[in-house]
Amino acid sequence: MNLKVKNALISVSNKKNLITVLKILKKFNINIISSGGTYESILKLGFRCTELSKYTGFEEMLDGRVKTLHPKIHAGILHDRQNIKHKDEMLKQNFPAIDLIIVNFYPFQRIVKQKLNSKKILENIDIGGPTLVRAAAKNFKNVTIITNINDYKSLIDELENFKGKTTIGFREFMSSKAFGLTAYYDAMIANWFNKRLKIKFPERKTIFGRKLQKLRYGENPHQESSIYVSDYEDKKLGFIQIHGKDLTYNNYNDMFASLEILSSLKKNSSTVIIKHANPCGVSENKIPFISLKNAFASDPISAFGGVVACNYKINKKIALEINKSFLEVIMAKGFDNDSLTVLKRKKNMRIIDISNFKHKNHTSIKSFDGSFIVQSRDDIILDIKKLKCVTRLKPKKDELAEIQFTFNVCKYIKSNAIVICNNFSTVGIGAGQPSRLDSCKIAIQKAKQFQSSKIKNSIAASDAFFPFVDGINTLIKAGVKTIIQPGGSIRDKEIITAANKGKIKMLFTGIRHFNH
């Protein structure tokens, strides 16, 4: 059903491009009602407008907190044009119909980003705007609601094509967008309160997100996908793509995994290589080039087609080394001009500057079939002072930093996880196996395949306790000389006995790092 637009109410904090709408409203003789700054802007642009207080006969009050909250406004929006009783009531009150609402809200989101005081933030929680929007969106059979300046063109085209009328399809679509906006707006406010009051797990959890980009497909070509930003800064992710093809679902998944690991490595130049959300190479070194080389050496075959993340700036020498491999994405804290010249020879490789990226969210969420689970992020860094050595052989002080590094990397590997390191670099990783023994075997097999000499005197970390001595004995036999694990198995005594018999050092952390 196409309906003629006779009266429009406009109340916008963002006045951009408003003139384009005013022109089309004038063309079809549509009356305009407005108030405050919007009313003044409309007059300055040279268009006629009825001031809201004159329309309702009620002066706005409480510093503008109460102006659109009036029966004449809401009855004009909410009444059913096909309901005889509604028509009679409207005639009796002499309330005209309002057919078009154009609203955007107080800039709560922008004010929060500016980190102003709570009083200023609270004053920018819009009440009248969302109320108008919800009323119009509910009555989409009769009313058109526009909440985004990006939809002005669609409104203009609609009015042009249908000679001052709007179609039911258009009104319903705009209604869906309107309810999405009010839900998003309220979710931002609820989350602000939760953060302010330090409520980690509220009774009702609302997750807000703005679509950043539709992706070509999901993990597989038959799956649809988009990426959303759940942050008050919702138009970017904190990193900049300089070059290469559009990022895919799998790219983002691997990138986020690499950034999480990288954020925990802060002492030296660090390199993380990710493949299918699992690291296949992690290395720290004072010299960036060596860090890169060591990370690739961990598993150069798996690194093929992977994502590389670095917490240092890329120069020409490093870029030339990177270009020896096929990679999907390279992320770094800056690129000099010479390095970009080299890297851009790879037409499709995505080059991402992460100089300004910062972790903000302290929770992780997984969803399934209408439910979701929420937990705090596993961002604990092992305290060396709290390590408990349970074997006769004890590590020297200068060994503790590398032991800490190995256990830290282990928490980012899919369980069951075993990581073997030497000289602050992974040399073997066993990930995601139902059996911890299998993870031990895979880590050893990887180490033997690529860096067999580095297994000797290496450090092994396990994300959870060893349930049997078989895993320990397998690592000892391969040449591992230090094992760090949470402990807590009913067979800990047997395992400690095996470690002493194998003349290795073993440390218990009391911290488990399952990553499913």
The 8-class DSSP code of residue 213 comes to: E
Residue 276 among the catalytic residues: yes
**Please, how many CA atoms are within 13 Å of residue 330, restricted to the half-sphere of its CB?**
31
Please give the average per-residue pLDDT across 284-305, as a whole number.
Answer: 96
> Residue 348: enclosing H or E segment and its boundaries?
none
Residues 306 and 299: their CA atoms lie apart, in Å, by 11
Active site residue 214: no
> Are 185 and 126 within 8 A, CB to CB?
yes
* Distance from the first to the final alpha carbon of the chain: 52
Q: Is 137 left (phi over 0), alpha (psi -120 to 50) or beta?
A: alpha
- Among residues 418, 413, 422, the alpha carbon closest in space to that of 459 is found at 422
Which of 276, 313, 316, 448 is flagged as catalytic? 276
The per-residue pLDDT for range 456-467, each reduced to its tens digit, is 999 999 999 999
pLDDT at residue 267 in the model: 82
**Residue written as tokens 């000797």?**
456
Q: Which of 365, 363, 367, 407 has its CA nearest to residue 386? A: 407
User: In whole angstroms, what is the distance from residue 165 CA to residue 182 CA?
Assistant: 25
**Residue among 138, 177, 243, 313 flagged as catalytic:** 138
Query: What pLDDT digit, counting tens, does each position of 66-122 carry?
Result: 767 788 888 889 888 888 898 888 788 888 989 999 998 877 877 877 777 788 888
CA distance 223 to 250: 12
Domains of the chain and any CATH numbers: 3-196 (3.40.50.1380), 235-353 (3.40.140.20), 381-508 (3.40.140.20)
Interatomic CA distance for residues 34 and 13, integer angstroms: 12
> In this predicted structure, what is the pLDDT of residue 266?
83
Task: Tell if the pTM clears 0.75, that is, is over it.
Answer: yes
Q: How far is residue 158 CA from its own chain's centroid?
A: 35
Q: What is the pLDDT of residues 240-255, one digit of tens each?
A: 999 999 999 999 999 9
